[in-house]
Amino acid sequence: MLMTLANKHRSTVSKMARKYAAAIATPHGLRKCFEARVERVGRKPLVGRFGGIPLRQDKKTVITDRRLPPVNIKRKELVTRLLAGRCESCGHVDQVEVHHVARLADLGRAGQRPPWADLMAARHRKTLVVCGNCHADIHGTNPVPALTE
């Protein structure tokens, strides 16, 4: 703090320490601190203090923490869509995957794009939660057969 004041006033740290030095009365006696005071007409002065607090341990202190209200964090929309477990293309309830494009402009122009791209463009979303079969169709690959016991 003293270095900041010294730099601001183009002075030295020791001059700032002498200028703002003060002693305040505490329950444990006088304590040295630095104090900036702005006197105001008809009102209490503005006082800013740095230091002056006793660093003694008080063994009789009772800590009373207030109970914090429960935090309700809203889920991101994509997480909610994933947890629904429903394919947004065919509506099939199954294990879902996310198809992602880098930019909506990569989907192409209306009328020249496949139905899944129209769906993404209509929703203005770069992601589409789809089942494994729909995802394979989007990429033009054969779907991976499901594991059966």
pTM higher than 0.75: no
Q: Is the pLDDT of residue 145 over 60?
A: no
Rounded percentage of the chain residues whose pLDDT exceeds 90 = 28
Strands 46-51 and 21-26: unpaired
Phi, psi angle pair for 50, to nearest 5°: -130, 115
Q: Could you tell me the CA-to-CA distances from 148 to 72, 145 in Å, in that order?
A: 40, 9
* pLDDT tens, position by position, 39-90: 999 999 999 999 888 788 888 889 899 898 888 888 788 888 888 889 988 8
Q: So what's the pLDDT on residue 20?
A: 93
Q: Is the pLDDT of residue 143 over 60?
A: no
Q: So what's the pLDDT on residue 146?
A: 54
Count the neighbouring beta carbons within 10 Å of the beta carbon of residue 52: 16
Q: Place 144 in a pLDDT band, splitting at 50, 70 and 90.
A: low
| Whole-number Å distance between alpha carbons of 8 and 11 | 8
| Whole-number Å distance between alpha carbons of 128 and 131 | 10
Residues shown for the chain: 149
Rounded percentage of the chain residues whose pLDDT exceeds 70 = 94
Q: Place 148 in a pLDDT band, splitting at 50, 70 and 90.
A: low
Q: So what's the pLDDT on residue 58?
A: 82
